[in-house]
Structures are given as structure tokens and as C-alpha cells.
Copies of this chain bind each other. A is one copy, B any other.
């Protein structure tokens, strides 16, 4: 108990499983079953499920219980509408804050992006780790608890989209270049450029997903 609360472990475990598509959309989550699987009792598990429902990762099944929420290409499109709203604004704010240090490091990292994209198998992990650093820098720069809360909540859904399509190494290279443009705009304090560069990046990212994703997938009840 001193290590960590059981409800936190259950939440983290379930959330990771949903994001990694180990629990696929439409999967019914029964309390006793999941509690046994995770080695906790029903009480902390219920708290974990409640938090997942607040995140929108699970939804109440009208009849009974909870199911892992659907995640179709249509959902990705909607998610990218929200992402555009939040991230273009966040980039604009970050540029206005004039916090140079973390973005100078990011500029160097995105410039040397070939390093992390060398390994075919690990290219995605390296790129995603870099993006995580970028996201953290944005969060710190905007310094807005409301905006950051929505950004972080959104990123869980965004991570689900990663399993929906196969990103080519070429796309990752382009994405890194787009990030570099955003970082440089922020360093220049050019909020409009940062917002527009973000818009461009999101547009390309969504197009890439659409082009490489399977035709249809993941209805709630499949």
C-alpha cells in the first residue's frame, strides 16, 4: 500500500491496455473479472473505471456495465478537430511566453532526428519519445492548468490512433520537419506562425492516417 494505491495501478493498467489495443473497442469490462485479473478488489477497480469513463476511454453500456469506447476513422477525424483547436492555440501561447530553453534543446533534437529513425523497428518509439518531450515543453510553456488538462486527456485518445494506421519512415521524417518548423516559430516568438505550422502538421498527420488506415474498423459492437 505504501508503494502506490491499488486504484491507481488498476487505472494505469487498464488505460495502457486500452491505448495499446490490448482491450479492443467494444470489449465489455466486468468488475469481478477485471478485479481478479489485476489482483485488486472491486472497490478500487470501480474507481479506476470511473476515471476511465471521465476520460471517455470507456462508455456505459445502456443495459449493464462498461465497454471500451469505439474508435473509428470518423472518431479520429473528430479528435483531430479538437486537436487543432487546442494545439494551435497552445502553440500560439507558447510562442508568446518566450521560454527558450526547452525549445532550443528540441530544435537540436528534431534536427538530428535521423539518429532516432535509423533503427527500423525502434523508429516509432524514438519518434514518439521525442514528441512526448515536445508535448511536455508545450505544457510547461503554456502554464495553463485548464488547457493542459484537456491536452493531456486528448493525448490518450491520440495514442489510440497510432495503432490504427502504419506510419512510414518517410512520414516520420516529414513529421519531424514539421515539428521543427513549430519549434522554430516558438523560439522566434511568432505565435501566428507557430499556430499555422501546427495546423499544417495536423493536416498532414490526419491525411497520412487516412491514407494508410484500413477502410473501416472498430465499431463499438463490431
Contact residues of A with B, CB < 8 Å? 43, 46-47, 50-51, 54-56, 75, 78-79, 81-82, 84-86, 88-90, 93, 142, 144-147, 149-150, 153-154, 157
Contact = CB atoms under 8 A, between A and B. Distances in A.
A167 to B, nearest CB: 21
Contact of A54 (B51, B75, B85, B157): B51
Nearest to A157: B146
5 contacts: A54-B54, A56-B146, A79-B146, A81-B142, A85-B90
Q: Is the interface of A mostly helix, strand, loop or mixed?
A: helix
Nearest to A55: B54
Contacts of A149: 56
Contacts of A50: 47, 50-51, 54
A95 to B, nearest CB: 13
A147 B85 contact: yes
Given A50-B47, A50-B50, A82 B146 contact: yes
Nearest to A90: B85
Contact of A85 (B46, B55, B86, B145): B86
A191 to B, nearest CB: 12
A194 B54 CA distance: 30
A73 B150 CA distance: 20
B89 A81 contact: yes
Nearest to A46: B47
A104 to B, nearest CB: 25
B144 A78 contact: yes
Contacts of A81: 89, 93, 142, 144, 146-147
